[in-house]
Amino acid sequence: MIYTENQQEIGERIDADVSKTIWNDWRWQVKHRIRSLQQLEDFLNLDLGEEKRKQIQQTIKKFPLSITPYYLSLINTENFENDPVFMQSVPSIQELEMSNEDMADPLHEDQDSPVPGITHRYPDRVLFLVSNVCAMYCRHCTRKRKVGDVDNIPSKKVIKQGLEYIRNTPVIRDVLLSGGDPFLLPDEYLDYILTELGKIEHVEVVRIGTRTPVVLPYRITDDLVNILKKHHPLWINTHFNHPRELTECARRALAKLADAGIPLGNQSVLLSGVNDCSRIMRTLFHKLVANRVRPYYLYQCDLSEGLSHFRTPVGKGIEIIENLIGHTSGFSVPTYVIDAPGGGGKIPIMPHYLISWSTNKVILRNYEGVITTYKEPDSYEPVFCDRKCNDCTLQLSLDEATEYQPVGIDRLLADYSDTLSLVPQDNERMEKRENGEGQD
């Protein structure tokens, strides 16, 4: 493990007896998280000034502060106001500026929750919040409403209820452990949850969302990796937002996970003043790929309370994606998504590449601006699909094929469904019909 001069200095300000070994101990890092303004200034050896001090103090009352000594050590104090690490971790008075569209729970995670800790939004997968604790409190957290609220591990009873719900709900084939940060749980507890999930036959994959490789890379110990290895197929998604975060330490943590055969993904959030720049993003995604991490999602900043100063126009995200598609490796390009307010789930946003089409041709443009045609087949025999797959010439062995009900546009497209239109719930015209006001 690395131990920079800066880290030694900060370490000694925290604890005179610090050594490389102690600094690299994740429990020491968690125990010595920076929780107060005084500690922040002392450990950074930084004078924030009267005004800023007052503002931060005021913000902390509503949205608490927590930074690991490691993440703190990445701050460049020479230019801290514009430092991406500082901006993601140190409270700003702007968090108290509520805008009209701000919501405590914009994604309606609590409303789509059948039992505490579980959000069941999509048909085949669930979000399972197994931890309320984070090493670092991200200023842009979408679950700010929960942060520091009950700063403890959800009770074993809640976890058992969640497991019971998954066990009793056979459509769930994918479980996403999140929080809080699941990797702040003790090894044995994580092992228990993964073991229980492993026993459920219909659960095909488990994913863990963690920011520890970014803010607490020492958490990725050999012991932890040895536990994770027992629970394949296991996927991990992490959360790097800026190339500066990919320190040698972080890269080693990622390498350990990748060496254990765990596919790694990254979810970034587009943040004004931190990474709203095509060049920064391209660098970040290239560095991730070089470290065996596939950029998975790029999120438009949510409408959670206290995030308005971080939001960019959607056009900024489209511009960033425009700058990537075609220009670089396909697997370096994440899907840009808006998580729909009201619980609609993630909606992908893309630049337009399909310009026009006729009955036998589509007109496309590429990343260079070249406009091109694709000639469609003259002799395609559309097969009327009645979902009688046994009689179909396309071969699918049905014992392996999952059945599902078509939903939304998918249902309108399906020959085997007689749905003609999708009608909004409060459509007056349809209500009139139901009330018999129209003529038959």
Annotation marks residue 392 as catalytic = no
Cβ 237 to ligand PLP shortest distance, Å: 8
Cβ 104 to ligand PLP shortest distance, Å: 16
Find the catalytic residue in 121, 173, 316, 365: 121
Q: Which residue has the tokens 């005004």?
A: 51
Cβ 134 to ligand PLP shortest distance, Å: 17
**Measured distance CA(182)–CA(189) in Å, rounded:** 10
Q: Which two tokens stand for residue 375?
A: 């000639």
Annotation marks residue 346 as catalytic = yes
Annotation marks residue 339 as catalytic = yes
**Which of residues 42 and 112 has its CB atom nearest to ligand PLP in the complex?**
112
**Which of residues 127 and 224 has its CB atom nearest to ligand PLP in the complex?**
127
3-state secondary structure of 338: strand
**Measured distance CA(42)–CA(201) in Å, rounded:** 52
Number of C-beta neighbours around residue 63 at 10 A: 19
**Which of residues 11 and 317 has its CB atom nearest to ligand PLP in the complex?**
317
Annotation marks residue 385 as catalytic = no
Q: Taken in order 268, 273, 278, 282, is the CA torsion positive or negative?
A: negative
Edge to edge, what strands does the sheet with 335-340 contain? 118-122, 125-129, 174-178, 205-209, 234-238, 264-269, 293-299, 335-340, 345-348
**Which of residues 123 and 315 has its CB atom nearest to ligand PLP in the complex?**
123
Annotation marks residue 410 as catalytic = no
Among 301, 255, 297, residue whose Cα is nearest residue 138? 301
Find the catalytic residue in 33, 71, 83, 134: 134
**Which of residues 83 and 339 has its CB atom nearest to ligand PLP in the complex?**
339
**Which of residues 70 and 297 has its CB atom nearest to ligand PLP in the complex?**
297
Cβ 121 to ligand PLP shortest distance, Å: 4
Specify the long-range contacts of residues 146-154, CB closer than 8 Å, at least 24 apart: 146/180, 147/63, 147/64, 148/63, 148/64, 148/66, 153/185, 153/189, 154/116, 154/117, 154/129, 154/130
Find the catalytic residue in 33, 139, 143, 251: 143
Find the catalytic residue in 83, 105, 138, 301: 138
Annotation marks residue 276 as catalytic = no
Among 368, 279, 299, 297, residue whose Cα is nearest residue 333? 297
3-state secondary structure of 13: helix
β-pair type (234-238, 293-299):
unpaired
Find the catalytic residue in 125, 139, 144, 287: 125
Annotation marks residue 249 as catalytic = no
Q: Taken in order 85, 88, 91, 94, is the CA torsion positive or negative?
A: positive
Cβ 278 to ligand PLP shortest distance, Å: 24
Find the catalytic residue in 145, 346, 365, 411: 346
Cβ 122 to ligand PLP shortest distance, Å: 5
**Which of residues 67 and 172 has its CB atom nearest to ligand PLP in the complex?**
172
At 331, the amino acid letter reads F
**Which of residues 94 and 335 has its CB atom nearest to ligand PLP in the complex?**
335
- For residue 354, give Cα distances in angstroms to 361, 363, 375, 412: 11, 6, 13, 22
Contact (CB, 8 A) for 264 and 254: yes
Find the catalytic residue in 53, 112, 122, 145: 122
3-state secondary structure of 67: strand
Annotation marks residue 138 as catalytic = yes
Find the catalytic residue in 83, 105, 181, 339: 339
Annotation marks residue 141 as catalytic = yes
Cβ 127 to ligand PLP shortest distance, Å: 4
Annotation marks residue 277 as catalytic = no
At 10, the amino acid letter reads I
Contact (CB, 8 A) for 371 and 365: yes
Cβ 294 to ligand PLP shortest distance, Å: 12
Residues at the interface with ligand PLP (CB under 6 A): 119, 121-122, 125, 127, 176, 346
Q: Which of the residues are catalytic?
A: 121-122, 125, 134, 138, 141, 143, 302, 339, 346
